[in-house]
Amino acid sequence: MIMPAEKELRAVLARFAQARIEHDVLPTGRTSRALEDATYTLCVITGSRTAEQALRAADALLDQYTAGHAGLRREDETLAA
């Protein structure tokens, strides 16, 4: 699987969350289609088959990004010392 850019992953997660909220508050045909589209995109970007799997995969990717950022900070501190 190609690893998505952090910014793209966060944007897709935000879109999914917004669609989920809108559909839960007032379900319509439009909100259903928006949720299906956001779910599909999240699944594709994470290489998953279900929304639940995609959310777990997204969490794991975000953990990797966070670990990568922490490693960069340590290197910066070493260089600055």
pLDDT digits (tens, 9 = 90+) for 7-66: 999 999 999 999 999 999 999 999 999 999 999 999 999 999 999 999 999 999 999 999
Residue among 70, 42, 37 nearest 56 (CA): 42
| Average pLDDT in the chain | 90
Residue pLDDT, tens place only, 54-80: 999 999 999 999 998 876 655 555 555
Global confidence as pTM: 0.81
Q: How far is the C-alpha of 19 from the C-alpha of 27, rounded, in Å?
A: 10
